[in-house]
Amino acid sequence: MRMSSSIPFKLFEEECLKLLKTSLEESRIESTENVLVRSLEIPPAREMGELALPCFELAKLLRRNPKELAEELAAKMSLMERKYVSDIKPAGLGYINFYVNHFELAQELFTAVTNFGSQYGLIKVERPLKIIVEHTSGNPIHPLTIGTGRNAVIGDSLASLLRSRGHDVKAHFYVNDVGLQVMIAAYGYSKVMDKIKGEKFDHSIGIIYPMTNSIVEIIELRKRLERASDDETKREILKEIDEWVGIAYELRNKDPELFDYLLSKISEDEDPKSMISKLNKDYEEGAREAVEIVRGLCKAVIEGFKQTLSRMWIKFDSWDWESEIAVWSKATEEVIGKIGDIAPWALERSEGALVLNVNGVASALNLKEKWGLADKELPKLTLRRADGTSLYTTRDIVYAFWKLKKADKVINVIGAEQSLAQLQLKIVLALLGVKDVETRYIHYAYELVKLPGAKMSSRRGRYIPLDDLLNESVNRVRIEVEKRGSALSEEEKKEIAEVIGVGAVKYALLNVTASKPITFDFDQVVNFERNSFPFINYTYVRALGILRKSSFTPTPNVDTSKLTHEYERELVIQMAKYPKIFIEAADELKPELLTNYLNQLSELFNSYYEKVNVIKEKDEETRKARLMLVYSIKTVIESCTKALNFKLAQRM
RNA sequence: GGGCCCGUAGCUCAGUAUGGAUGGAGCACCGGCCUCCGGAGCCGGAGGUCCCGGGUUCAAGUCCCGGCGGGCCCGCCA
């Protein structure tokens, strides 16, 4: 029975460490295992082996010359018995390079791949946690945009990764059905309900909302203009009116009939703004008419969200209505009461509104030092409006509690622009007695997706719907599929275009580190060359093609010593490392590590494919070993894409 | 005024948490490769003051300090 591991590369690492330890002991050098584990690194170039130990730190400790030390240790280790380490060489000014025996490594890899199939590399944690990933949570006033799309893709891949890691993960969508934006949309919707055409409802609201908003803004500004006394204010107001008129004009062009109708209906109202405020108050109080209209709107918009999301294979376990959790339950008022009980000194009244001195709380709890915050004044947080209605952050505190009660850990994918509010929220959680806030409640911040010219703004109706991006991508893939003119049926072509087109969008949004802003460009997001999902799927199809034509069944019983080509060596090493990369991606919440990995593996395989023929190989043993290598590539791509929740086309 | 984030090739980005040997890709540009296991591919070329200046270190794209440029945020929006 061969010793086997689900992380092949680790066998090599452990052997390197063992050799080092033994050689140090022989040289009577005191235990320095920590130094070793920390220092062992991947060398910058292929010819320097697979792992290296820089001896400078050790040499300094021992007051030795690093070069000589490296030479001495390497010589010693070269004489020792070993299995996975083929060569040990001193190099440079004080490095020891370790070269892997990739024939042995290939045996381990093939065993693991045969045993685990497309579960290969998805190493489970010892202690699974209950984790909630809250993501997407787009406001129900317009369709999902490329911005919320980025959120959705990040959140979904995190949820998927953590699930693959063995955690008990639930994906939650927070429905923001409370607040003025939704009320504006509901107010406009109530005016034009029967005029709405057959298109996707979220898209309809996506135009009604900004139209209503601009009309109400203009009416309100005109009133202020009448009341204004001095010329300076008048000029400012006029400037603002001009801007909004421009926006309204832009919006009217999209649907003149709808706009004019909406305008006439809103003009019938004496004071639209106060009607919106009243709707807001009524809704928070649960008045039946208000609930009917707002709920009706939100449900219909969410139906549109679900269609878009399911197209991206994104599912949620829970839809959490803000109104239910935070408002109607009276929980928001309870939380405010609790804060008052614990820290009455931190609450202030300001023109009728209730304000929390967050800075005082942070100081009192010693959080600034503990959380490494700058020693600066933190801004205050308004907990309740003067009219008694609640505010987003206050409601979010309640929601945070609600989530924390259900899970060990809560990951919230929320835009980076909310960093301050999220910090304030965490401080309040700590005040209310939540332990380990900083590890249990995570704000996973992502930067916005910007347009090349103008800024995106839902209030102005300037945004790119995620649906449009998906359609564009799928259409472009469809054109490519047609070009190939293959013998596929229409139905198959359609499916392939969908899988690859959607995958291309997901990959593009995921591949850039979340903390970096993306400037949106169709040609860049929807690119089908290297470093794209189509490229990866293409690689996969190539591997499948080889396997299909050779009637192959996986087995570790192949002669790995036949894999002598340098690309074969590279591929074996790369795949043996995959489980380690998966673990890091899941534990450090870095899905982009896996998109990068997939791309690298694909590049390697395509180079190999160009240089080495598998099927035509005459030597039976060599052919079998190569087939197993190709099968492993196919398997790793399946495992990795599955962990990120992508689908793969079998042909393209 | 303050806080957070970003600054790496003409453009878009990896690499920075945990410092290590000649700083990697893609796009665009130039030049090659289809009697193929499907060219959505492969090979080569050109292209870098890693924003600037100090400091720590045997060693800095990476850590520290100070600047510069861009984005976001700073009590009744979400």
Mind listing the pLDDT tens digit for each residue in A380-410?
A: 999 999 988 889 999 999 999 999 999 999 9
A82 pLDDT higher than 90: yes
Residue A454 pLDDT? 57
Residue A587 belongs to domain spanning: 466-643
By percentage, how much of chain A surpasses pLDDT 90?
A: 75
The tally of CA atoms less than 13 A away on the side-chain side of residue A499 is 20
Strand partners, A518: A449
Say whether A162 sits in a helix, a strand or coil.
helix
User: Distance between CA A647 and CA A503 in Å, rounded?
Assistant: 7
For A131 and B31, how far is CA from C1' in angstroms?
54
Could you tell me the distance in Å between the CA of residue A558 and the C1' of nucleotide B3?
Answer: 60
Q: Is the pLDDT of residue A32 over 70?
A: no
A26 or A422, which is more confident? Answer: A422
Neighbouring residues of A172: CB distance < 8 A, sequence distance ≥ 6: A132, A133, A134, A135, A316, A317, A318, A319, A320, A403
pLDDT at A8 over 90: yes
> What is the per-residue pLDDT for A35?
67
Return the closest nucleotide (C1') to the Cα of A538.
Answer: B40
How many helices and strands (H and E) does chain A possess?
26, 13
Looking at the C1' of nucleotide B33, which residue has the nearest alpha carbon? A610
In a domain, A525, yes or no: yes
Q: Is the C-beta of residue A603 closer than 7 Å to nucleic acid chain B?
A: yes
Q: What is the CA radius of gyration of chain A?
A: 30
Which residue is nearest nucleotide B19, judged by alpha carbon to C1' distance? A39
Q: Is the ipTM of this complex over 0.90?
A: yes
Task: State, as a whole number of angstroms, the distance between the CA of A34 and the C1' of B57.
Answer: 20
As a whole number of angstroms, the distance between CA A241 and CA A299 comes to 33
CA–C1' gap, A414 and B71, in angstroms: 17
Q: Which nucleotide is nearest to A488 (CA to C1')?
A: B38
List of residues 6+ apart from A100 with CB closer than 8 A: A12, A49, A50, A51, A84, A85, A86, A573
Residue A243 — pLDDT band, cuts 50, 70, 90?
confident
Provide the pLDDT for residue A599: 95
Q: Residue A484: pLDDT band by 50, 70, 90 thresholds? A: confident
> Residue A93: which CATH number?
3.30.1360.70
- Residue (of A533, A510, A525, A520) closest to A589 by Cα position: A510
- Name the nearest CA neighbour of A389 among A432, A345, A328, A342: A328
> Residue A87 — very low, low, confident or very high, per pLDDT cuts 50/70/90?
very high
Assign residue A542 the CATH number of its domain: 1.10.730.10
Residue A455, pLDDT score: 62
Note whether A391 and A181 are within 8 A (CB): no
Q: Which domain-ending residue is among A49, A75, A100?
A: A100
Whether CB of A454 is under 7 Å from strand B: the answer is no
Which segment of A139-153, A324-338, A473-487 scores lowest on mean pLDDT?
Answer: A473-487
Query: What is the reported pLDDT for A3?
Result: 47
Summarised one tens digit per residue, pLDDT across range A485-512 is 677 888 999 999 999 999 999 999 999 9
What is the predicted pLDDT for the residue at A2?
45
What is the reported pLDDT for A361? 94
pLDDT of residue A175: 96
Residue A651, token pair as written in the block:
């042909």
The model's pLDDT over A355-373, given as tens digits with 9 standing for 90+, comes to 999 999 999 998 888 887 8
Q: Which residues pair with A450 in a beta bridge?
A: A519
Nucleotide nearest to A55 (CA to C1'): B20
- A569-598 burial, b at 16+ Cβ within 10 Å, e below that, comes to bbbbbbbbbbbbbbbebbeebbbbbbbebb
Query: Is the residue at A578 inside a domain?
Result: yes
- Protein-to-nucleotide distance from the CA of A370 to the C1' of B54, whole angstroms: 30
Estimate to the nearest angstrom the gap between the alpha carbon of A488 and the chain centroid.
34
pLDDT reported for residue A261: 96
Instruction: Tell whether A336 is covered by a domain.
Output: no
A501 lies in the same domain as A601 = yes
Which nucleotide is the nearest neighbour of A60, by CA and C1'?
B58
Residue A649 lies in a domain: no
SS (H, E, C) A174-220: EECCCCHHHHHHHHHHHHHHHHCCCCCHHHHHHHHHHHHHHHHHHHH
Residue A184 and residue A71 share a domain: no
A594-608: per-residue pLDDT in tens? Answer: 999 999 999 999 999
> Which nt sits closest to A38, CA to C1'?
B18
* Average predicted confidence (pLDDT) for chain A: 91
Query: What stretches of A503-645 adopt beta strand conformation (E)?
Result: 518-519
Residues A412-427 have a mean pLDDT of 95
Contact indicator for A384, A363 with CB cutoff of 8 Å: no
| A510 CA – B61 C1', rounded, Å | 24
Tell me the nt nearest to A182, Cα to C1': B78
Asked if A96 and A231 sit in the same domain, the reply is no
Distance CA A547 to C1' B5 in A: 47
Position A377 in a domain? no
A472 CB contact with strand B at below 7 Å: no
Which pLDDT band, with edges at 50, 70 and 90, does A199 fall under? Answer: confident
> Does A513 reside within a domain?
yes
pLDDT above 70 for A452: no
Nucleic strand B contact set for A 74-103 (CB, < 7 Å)? 91-92, 95, 97
Measuring from the CA of residue A519 to each C1', which nucleotide is nearest?
B12
Question: Among the three residues A60, A79, A100, which one is the final residue of a domain in this structure?
Answer: A100
Residue A31 pLDDT grade (very low, low, confident, very high; cuts 50, 70, 90): low
The Cα A305–Cα A136 span in angstroms is 10
CB atoms within 10 A of CB A247: 21
CB A526 within 8 A of CB A509: no
Of A309, A326, A347, the last residue of a domain is A309
Residues A92 and A184 in one domain: no
One domain for residues A93 and A186: no
**Spatial distance from the CA of A180 to the C1' of B70 (Å):** 32
CA–C1' gap, A574 and B33, in angstroms: 27
Q: Which nucleotides of B are covered by protein (CB under 7 A)?
A: 2-7, 12-15, 17-28, 37-43, 58-59, 71-78
Query: How many structural domains is chain A composed of?
Result: 3
Residue A544: inside a domain: yes
The residues of A between 612 and 631 with beta carbon within 7 Å of nucleic strand B are 612-616
Does A520 fall in a domain?
yes
Local structure of A406: helix, strand or coil: helix
Task: Give pLDDT tens digits for A320-334.
Answer: 999 999 999 999 999
Q: Do A472 and A573 share a domain, yes or no? A: yes
A31-35: long-range contacts (C-beta < 8 A, 24 or more apart)?
A: A32/A58, A32/A61, A35/A61
In chain A, residues 340 through 359 whose Cβ sits under 7 angstroms from any atom of nucleic acid strand B: 348, 350-353, 355
Is the Cα dihedral A264, A269, A271, A277 positive or negative?
Answer: negative
Residues 564-593 of A with CB under 7 A from strand B: 584, 588, 590, 592-593
Nucleotide nearest to A354 (CA to C1'): B76
Q: Distance between CA atoms of A291 and A279, rounded to whole angstroms?
A: 9
Distance A81 CA to B50 C1' (A): 43
CA angle A624, A628, A630 (to 5 degrees): 115
**Alpha-carbon torsion A463, A467, A468, A470, what sign?**
positive
C1' (B66) to CA (A175) span, angstroms: 45
Q: Of A81-90, A281-290, A449-458, which gets the smallest average pLDDT? A: A449-458
Mean pLDDT confidence for A621-631:
96
Beta bridge partners of A449: A518
Distance A224 CA to B24 C1' (A): 58
**Residues of A from 322 to 341 whose C-beta is within 7 A of strand B: which are they?**
none
The strand pair at A318-321 and A347-350 is best described as: unpaired
Mean pLDDT of A64-85: 93
Are A471 and A576 in a shared domain?
yes
| Distance of A583 CA from B73 C1′ (whole Å) | 34
